Chains A and B, each alone.
Chain A
Amino acid sequence: MVSVELRGIQKRWEDFALTIERLRARDGELLTLLGPSGCGKTTTLRIIAGLEKPNSGEVLFDGTPVNDLPPYERNIGIVFQDYALFPHMTVFKNVAFGLEMRKLPRMEIERRVKRALELVNLEGLENRYPEQLSGGQQQRIALARALVVEPQVLLLDEPLSNLDAKIRERLRSEIKRIQRELKITTIYVTHDQEEAMALSDRIAVMNFGRIEQVGKPLELYHHPKTEFVARFLGSSNILELKAENGVVRLGSLRFNVGISGRVKMFFRPESVRVKEGNDAHVVDYEILPGRVRFKLKIDGKVITSEGLLSDIPFDIEEPPKRVGVEISTFAIL
């Protein structure tokens, strides 16, 4: 397996420019490119695959530039959003294609195709044609076809977006299992933050052709560097406050931020714990399955809190007018 690195990549179209100063997927890691539609995720993936030539910059596999290598010499596996199974070939032929291109002996091909189909739990469909398979089955065949050649890098472009929610979750954990099993360096493209959080070792959040932040899922979730990242990953409390002598005051609460002046303070609703006390005024509340969400007013600012129903220290049917508040994790944007 290898590491994949992008350095100084630029790709320009009439109305779009992709700029990636530096991005590295470590050996055996699952790195997700996450961002809204049109932000350049697919383009980045295609540059790594060699299907698109950047205007400038380098793609390195294990430190070696591969810019001049055509896709068929990069030893990669790709799964496209619409799977791109060859319609005129059976499942067996589809999966065997890459091995045939590598001129492996017949026996070896049969053995490896069989193993790949086992890996994706799809034995016995060898002689079907793609159109005779369900979407989920097609997706697994596409995965088997990409994996059977033992690529150094696996590239997945929204591989689950054409499936319905149930199958999506099942395949998601299956992809993760296979990726862990094979320890294959994987770059995964999605615009679904839940999928990204569930799967990734690290996530690179993209916006308008740029990478906003790279980090572990929880690190991005609780410590985003920009408002975009904060908002894209889930619901947020973002407050404009003043810091004096490195301390921000919010009602009776105090936060050490280490800087002074105007700051934008961020925290997730889950980081706000409601307890008995007198810090905030309860504006409104909403009971969700197993959880409860409060709208609270502190010092004229409205914040949201979300927590487990079982953690609430009072009778939720008759909450008090004022509650105590504890904010465990926050970030300054």
Chain B
Amino acid sequence: MAERKTIELGYEGVPTDRMRMNVGPQHPSTHGVLRLEVELEGEIVTDVIPHIGYLHRCFEKYAEKMTYLQLIPYIDRLDYISSMNSEWPYVMGMEKLLDITVPEKVEYIRVIFAELNRIANHQIAVATFGIDAGAFTPFLFLFRDREMIITLFEAASGGRLLYNYFRIGGLSGDVPPTFKEDCLSIVKQVRNTNKEVMDLLIYNKIFVERTANVGILPADVAINYGVSGPMLRGSGLDFDLRKAEPYSIYDRFDFNIPVGKGEVGTVGDCWDRNVVRMYEMEESCRIVEQAVAQMSMEGDVLETIPKKIRPKANEIYCRAENPKGELGFYIISDGTAIPWRVKARGTSFVNLSVIPEISKGYMMADLILILGSIDIVLGEVDR
């Protein structure tokens, strides 16, 4: 392990036993119902065993019972913080199986909504991470802005949290007429707030002290564990599926991949992961601006939706860059209207599995920060 924070506790000579402690399933900073069995020596974490499944909602069983279209609401409920993004890989995979090309306008709306949802997701991630570290104000600021994005989503889809908006071959409805102006005003507001949050939280001395050099994840370990998304990029590797294998129309936009540089500590610590999320919001803003400039409001979003969805017997693994990392769906069709098997490769499921590796040797209070910096959502961990 790289550099480790050591704190003199003055316990020498005091005999200490190893202690086992439960964090969760009801715990304010496990972000849901996760249980961590922690082995402590004094105040130092020596082992972490995650117990998951407290939110196992049988998604894969549902995938064998529902038709292709009926499955989309259940996909929303996997990663419920970024539903728009979650629907995308599934819909994209089905379009490939059915050989449908969607109109330009649909692609643009999808990109814009996915990027706005990415911003909303990172806002929650940074806000709750701030709370874990003891900063409450950024939470209020970021949720105020998130409400603007949610309002736009609601105008288009009717839902505030779970949208059910993407359809195989199109969208469920057109965007509101003031769409472009709304997007631009959101982008403006997000940028303003991010500047404030940068000063208030990210470069705050207390925050830096608490998060720098904590939970260091080296890039090779990350890859071996299958970690993706901001966590992998926080470890200094510029891997982003939007660039690595550009899907949809991502090759038309000019954006960067922010990576962790170890600005205040070591590459791959909690601070890096968090600052990557902040910079990613800025990149998403840029993509939204470009997409709004290129997009035309003319056209129909419903015309390529097939009447009958019955793909031939085949199988496909389709993935996309979610705010949390790579979300993939392995779809096996058997020629009927009901999928034979849909396996969801949950991003958080894989990202969480690295926690025993990166939390050993830190203080108990740091474990909470490490967990917060992974940005898990339990719906996707347990499916």
Q: Do A and B bind each other?
A: no
Which of A's residues lie within 8 Å of B, judged by CB?
Answer: none
Which of B's residues lie within 8 Å of A, judged by CB?
Answer: none
